Amino acid sequence: MIGIGCRRGVSVAQIHAAVFAALGHESLSNVRALASIEDKRDETALIEFAALHHLPIEFLAKERVAQVHTCVSEQVRALIGIDGVCEPCALLASRNGRIVRSKIALDGVAVSIAEDNSIQQTDNERT
């Protein structure tokens, strides 16, 4: 699960660069979905990146994201009044997971990666 936060008006190339920097040697094909805050529902580059890579994107309510305690971004707090976007979104959209790649910020885009809980995933696959 990849959580993404970004400045308004970033390009698909900027999102691409940040996502692939966060992934390192991991493949995007291992990613189940993307997640961001509901305020980004109309962010064209984010929607286009998801479509380009055939990934669903979940937009989470700001109030829900605010309840997840992660690293504090003073910039995000000043702009939208919550501590962060990418890490809480990655965690919330994961299946009871954990952060495996802490926030990386690159050219106006912040990305974090959460891994689903393998026990939770196995239980879900059985039902």
Q: List domains and CATH numbers for the chain.
A: 2-126 (3.30.420.180)
Whether the pLDDT of residue 122 is over 90: the answer is no
Pairing of strands 34-37, 2-6: parallel
What are the tens digits of pLDDT across the range 21-31?
999 999 999 99
Confidence tier at 74 by pLDDT (50, 70, 90): confident
Q: What is the mean pLDDT of the chain?
A: 89
Confidence tier at 124 by pLDDT (50, 70, 90): very low
d(CA 50, CA 60): 15
Please answer whether residues 33 and 1 qualify as being in contact, where contact means their C-beta atoms are separated by less than 8 angstroms. yes
Please answer whether residues 93 and 33 qualify as being in contact, where contact means their C-beta atoms are separated by less than 8 angstroms. yes
Phi, psi (rounded to 5 degrees) for 4? -130, 130
12-23 vs 44-52: helix crossing angle, rounded to 10: 60
d(CA 78, CA 106): 19
Please answer whether residues 110 and 86 qualify as being in contact, where contact means their C-beta atoms are separated by less than 8 angstroms. yes
Confidence tier at 77 by pLDDT (50, 70, 90): low
What are the tens digits of pLDDT across the range 16-73?
999 999 999 999 999 999 999 999 999 999 999 999 999 999 999 999 998 987 777 7
